[in-house]
Amino acid sequence: MASLGSTRRTFAPWADPAAKPYIRFENVTKRFGDFTAVDDLSLTIYEREFFALLGASGCGKTTLLRMLGGFEQPTSGRIFLDGQDMKGIPPYRRPVNMMFQSYALFPHMTVEANIAFGLKQDGMPKPQIAERVGQMLKLVKLEQFAKRKPQQLSGGQRQRVALARSLAKRPKVLLLDEPLAALDKKLREETQFELVDLQYELGLTFIVVTHDQEEAMTMADRIAIMDKGKVLQVATPAEVYEAPSCRFVADFVGSINTFEGSVTKTGSAARIRDRSGTEFRVADAGEAAAGDTVWLAVRPEKLSISRERPADAANALDGEIWDIAYLGDMTVYNVKLDDGRIVKASTINSIRRLEDALTWHDRAWVSFSADAGVVLTR
Partner 1 sequence: MAGTWGRFNVVALALGFAFLYLPIVLLVIYSFNESRLVTVWAGFSTKWYVAMLNNRGLMDAAWVTARVAFLSATIATVFGTMAAVALTRYTRFRGRLLFSGIVFAPLVMPEVITGLSLLLLFVAINFDRGFATVTIAHITFSMCFVAVVVQSRLITFDKSLEEAALDLGATPVKAFFQVTLPVILPAVIAGWMLAFTLSLDDLVIASFTSGPGATTLPMKIYSQVRLGVTPEINAVSTVLIGVVTVGVIVASLVNKRQEVLRQREAEIG
Contact set with partner 1 (CB under 8 A): 69-71, 90-92, 96-98, 100-102, 104, 106-108, 117-118, 121-122, 145, 148-149, 151-154, 157, 165-166, 169
- Between residues 162 and 364, which has the closer beta carbon with respect to partner 1? 162
- Between residues 59 and 111, which has the closer beta carbon with respect to partner 1? 111
Give min distance, CB of 11 to partner 1, in A.
27
Give min distance, CB of 148 to partner 1, in A.
6
- Between residues 97 and 266, which has the closer beta carbon with respect to partner 1? 97
Task: For residue 211, give every residue at least 6 positions away whose Cβ sits within 8 Å of its Cβ, in sequence order, or none.
Answer: 54, 55, 56, 57, 178, 181
- Between residues 92 and 360, which has the closer beta carbon with respect to partner 1? 92
Q: Are 106 and 93 in contact (CB under 8 A)?
A: no
Q: Are 240 and 223 in contact (CB under 8 A)?
A: yes
Q: Are strands 205-210 and 222-227 parallel, antiparallel or unpaired?
A: unpaired
Burial degree of 292 (CB within 10 A; 0-12, 13-18, 19+): middle
Give min distance, CB of 347 to partner 1, in A.
45
Residue 124 exposure: Cα atoms within 13 Å on the Cβ side: 18
Task: For residue 145, give every residue at least 6 positions away whose Cβ sits within 8 Å of its Cβ, in sequence order, or none.
Answer: 111, 137, 153, 157, 161
- Between residues 162 and 345, which has the closer beta carbon with respect to partner 1? 162
d(Cα 80, Cα 41) in Å, to the nearest integer? 13
Give min distance, CB of 377 to partner 1, in A.
41
- How far from chain centre, in Å, is Cα 47? 18
Give min distance, CB of 97 to partner 1, in A.
6
